[in-house]
Chain A
Amino acid sequence: MRVALFVTCLVDLMRPKIGFAAIELLEAAGCTVVVPTRQTCCGQPAWNSGDRAAAAQLAKKVIAEFEGFEHVVAPSGSCADHIRNEYPVLLAGAPEWQARARALAPRVHELTDFLVRVARLERVPGCFAGRVTYHDSCAGLRRLGIKAQPRDLLARLPGIELQEMSGAEECCGFGGAFSLKFGEIAAAIAQRKCACACATGAAAIVGGDLGCLLNIEGKLRRMGDETTRVLHIAEVLTAK
């Protein structure tokens, strides 16, 4: 199965190892992974800022670069949701592009969803021991139905203990540009998330979207917690 990796701009900038972990997982599932090198961003920041024109231009760029692949996989529910569900909406004014967006949409997947449902990964390559808790990111959970998939994958790691936090499905306060425009509100929301996560006694908070993870980690460090790790699920599933 030939799969294109949509790296996402945050992974590219902040934590490339998540991208490499995603490649490792996809290869472990028997996929041939291609990383189109001209990719940048899915354009969600423009769309959520109300700039339809910019969002449409970036959407067209992504469609042109990725529509030739059987599947497109992103280590982010947020970006995958944007490409799957928003491209056809934001390209409503360009019927030809909208048709191409619709044709691409069902082939775009969030990483854990793809590994469990499409590629049917059998053996998880990593080895990670200890107690973790999982934060459900909003777009993945409420728009793509990502809930069981990451837990299913985590459960395959011998030695891991998943302790659910209360309010796992509640937003962490990231919200893209929201966290840059309303920093104090975002930080107060993140504080609740961190308190719930830490109450589980987990050594690591795990999630599927780097935006949330940066928000949670940033809050933890500001609260003086230097030890609780904040990891992308791809990092956990490929940990050595």
Chain B
Amino acid sequence: MESRAHRFQANAADSLANPVLQANLRTAKGKFVDKRAIALRELGEADAFEATREAARAVRDSVLGDIDLWLEKFEENAVARGAAVLWARDGAEICRLVAEIGRRHGVAKAVKSKSMLSEEAGLNLALEASGIRPVETDLGEYILQINRNEPPSHIIAPVVHKSLDEVADLFHSVHKTPRKTEIPALTREAREVLREHFLTAEMGISGGNFLIAETGSVALVTNEGNGRMVTTLPRVHVVITGIEKVIPTLEDLCLLMRLLPRSATGQSISNYVSVLTGVKRPDEHDGPEHLYFILVDNGRADVVGSEFRDMLRCIRCGACMNHCPVYQTIGGHAYGWVYPGPMGSVLTPLYTGIENAIDLPQAATLCNQCGVVCPVKIPLPDLLRKLREKQVERNLRPRFERGALKVWAWVARHPTLYGIGARLGVRYLKWLAGGKPSIAVLGTAPEWTKGRDFPAPEGRTFRELYARRRGKP
């Protein structure tokens, strides 16, 4: 998917100016945040969550330490159960591999369960170009696909930015059916359309929440049941996941599953948890005859050996964005690529180039709400700050900002000069306020006064007043 992260400021301005989106974001926020809080209480007192997430952090960390070994082990066990394991360096290779598999098995239609990696690769467009019709079957993804391939705005709730009304209009115009306003009726309509596709598709494409090394299985966490159809009905099943999704054992899966649905949707467990192992055996009725795993790098291997490795612990629950004040305000599309919110602001620069997503690491208040809700303890604010450091090291910050910071830092090391500067500065601001309690337009900080006044200072600095109080000049 082509990144629009470099247009973050403009994207965000569009989001702020869109009243329908703003209303939809407000509704979504309450749902996610409240439901998660209730679900986590089931684990026990606050320490229970802490203990569980510490254990989850340790599992994810230890895998990343030996990821090559775990991936080999996964490959060995998956192949032993009849699967083929392919490796893709980037999005283009994913597209090429899937198209090849499609050709090999005479595929005209592929049904898809939700996969963010296929978004990274821009897979749908590539499949269409090679003569395979991709059909999204996750309800949210389906809605987006029939809305002219709109990108998802959230990693687990791709269509969270839309209202019921918008979906009703869309179904009415695309399906050419009478306009429905009840969610169950709309869902039924989508199911009727999708059922036909499930039964006729030759290939199913899914993502994978976890790869289990000891069994060579993929674990899928879903709510709508479409994942089961996609992975069991068609003759061919292609799993596309990032290499970082591997975990050692089924026991580790159980541990992570205590956290994932609770953190994501506030469910004790998702409606479906599928652990899929191998191709259909002679004595089995369901399952694919051909199973392919495409394990994707697309920037991940470089991160394994970097100071950003903690980011690869991510289990894609979306809690960081659901709790992020910036995401809550502008929604996912503003971030411009596949992954929004704090995790996206770390991943997008790492996967698409630091220089191509300059604003993302800056567009965070570092409030650490993401850090405290993350089920695998990713220190997201620290990683965002480190990316800011990389921007400075690589000279990617605007010259004015660098200059201002340098001057300020130098003056701050020279207290006498600093005192004089501060004295002049506050007098200027006081004068600018003209006796009013706040300043409406501040030329030196125009961004501040776009949406807020700037409160007027008292007019003298603490150091001045303190020196006077102590009887010094």
Within 8 Å by CB of A171, from B362, B369, B371, B413, lies B369
Asked whether A186 lies within 8 Å of B451 as measured between CB atoms, the reply is yes
The smallest beta-carbon distance between B34 and chain A, in angstroms, is 11
B447 within 8 A of A: yes
CB of B65 closer than 8 Å to a CB of A: no
* Nearest residue, chain A, Cβ from B452: A218
- CA gap between A51 and B458 in the complex, in Å: 30
Which chain A residue shows the least CB distance to B410?
A: A54
* A16-B460, A16-B465, A45-B408 as given contacts; A187 in contact with B367, CB under 8 Å: no
| Contact residues in B for A51 (Cβ distance below 8 Å) | 389, 392, 405, 409
Whole-angstrom CA separation of A138 from B323 in the bound complex: 13
Q: Given the known A-B contacts A175-B365, A187-B450, are A16 and B13 also in contact in the complex, defined by CB atoms under 8 Å?
A: no
B388: Cβ under 8 A from any A Cβ: yes
The total of interchain contacts (Cβ-Cβ below 8 angstroms) comes to 199
B267 touches A (CB below 8 Å): no
Given A14-B457, A46-B405, A171-B365, A58-B412 contact (CB < 8 Å): yes
Q: Which residues of B contact A43 (CB under 8 A)?
A: 409, 412
Q: Nearest residue in A to B408 (C-beta to C-beta)? A: A45
CA distance A215 to B367 in the complex (A): 14
* B136 to A: closest C-beta gap in Å: 31
Task: With both chains docked as a complex, state the minimum distance between the C-beta of A139 and any C-beta of chain B, in angstroms.
Answer: 7
Interface positions, chain A 41-68, Cβ under 8 Å from B, are 41, 43, 45-52, 54, 57-58, 61
Distance to closest chain B CB from A59 (angstroms)? 11
Query: Which residues of B sit under 8 angstroms from A48, Cβ to Cβ?
Result: 366, 385, 388
CB-CB under 8 A from B326, the residues of chain A are 182, 185, 189
Q: Does B24 contact A (CB under 8 A)?
A: no
B-contacting 9-mer, from A5-13, A151-159, A198-206: A5-13
Within the complex, the shortest CB–CB distance from A7 to chain B, in Å, comes to 5
Interface set, chain B 419-455, CB cutoff 8 A to A: 422, 425-426, 437-438, 440, 445-455
**Pair B397/A217 contact, Cβ less than 8 Å:** no
Segment 94-143 of B: residues with Cβ below 8 Å from A: none
Total chain A interface residues with beta-carbon distance under 8 A: 65
* A230 CA to B455 CA, complexed, in Å: 10
Q: Please state if A185 and B448 are interface contacts (CB–CB under 8 Å).
A: no
Cβ-neighbour of A222 out of B447, B453, B466 (below 8 A): B453
Query: Across the interface, do A12 and B13 meet the contact criterion of CB distance under 8 Å?
Result: no
**Beta-carbon contact of A50 and B462 below 8 Å:** no
Q: Which residues of chain B are near A189, meaning CB under 8 Å?
A: 325-326, 328-329, 365
A12 touches B461 (CB 8 A): yes
B372 within 8 A of A: yes
Min CB distance A57 to B, Å, is 6
- B409, A57: Cβ atoms closer than 8 Å: yes
**Pair B406/A54 contact, Cβ less than 8 Å:** yes
Asked if residues A142 and B422 are in contact (CB atoms below 8 Å), the reply is no
Q: Does A127 contact B (CB under 8 A)?
A: no
Does A219 sit within 8 A of B, measured CB to CB? yes
Mask of A110-146 contacts with B, CB within 8 angstroms, 1/0: 0000000000000000000000000000110011000
**B412 and A182 contact, CB distance less than 8 A:** no
Q: Which of B371, B408, B409 has the largest number of chain A CB atoms within 10 A?
A: B409
Contact A187 B462 (CB under 8 A): no
Q: Which of A19, A181, A192 contacts B466 (CB 8 A)?
A: A19
- Taking A49-B388, A54-B405 as contacts, is the C-beta distance between A182 and B372 under 8 angstroms? no
Residue B59 CB within 8 A of the other chain? no
**Are B409 and A54 in contact, CB atoms less than 8 angstroms apart?**
yes
**A174 CA to B401 CA, complexed, in Å:** 18
Q: Does B277 contact A (CB under 8 A)?
A: no
Contact yes or no, A183 B457, CB < 8 A: no
Decide if B269 is an interface residue (CB 8 Å cutoff). Answer: no
Measured between beta carbons, the chain A residues less than 8 angstroms from B389 are 50-52
Query: B452 — which chain A residues lie within 8 A by C-beta?
Result: 183, 186-187, 190, 215, 218-219, 221-222
CB pair A37 B467 closer than 8 Å: yes
Is residue B368 contacting chain A, with contact meaning CB distance below 8 A? yes
Kindly identify which residue among A49, A57, A222 contacts B392, using a CB–CB cutoff of 8 Å: A49
Besides the contacts A43-B412, A184-B450, what 16 more A-B pairs have beta carbons closer than 8 Å?
A: A7-B462, A12-B461, A14-B458, A16-B460, A16-B461, A16-B466, A20-B466, A45-B408, A54-B409, A58-B409, A142-B367, A171-B367, A175-B366, A185-B363, A192-B329, A221-B453
25 pairs of residues in contact across A and B, judged by CB atoms under 8 Å: A9-B412, A12-B422, A13-B422, A45-B408, A48-B385, A50-B385, A51-B389, A54-B405, A138-B367, A138-B368, A138-B369, A139-B368, A142-B372, A170-B367, A178-B363, A178-B365, A178-B366, A180-B445, A181-B363, A183-B451, A185-B329, A186-B365, A186-B451, A218-B449, A218-B454
Q: Could you list which residues of chain A lie within 8 angstroms of chain B, going by C-beta atoms? A: 7, 9, 11-17, 19-20, 35, 37-41, 43, 45-52, 54, 57-58, 61, 138-139, 142-143, 170-171, 173-192, 214-215, 217-219, 221-222, 226, 230
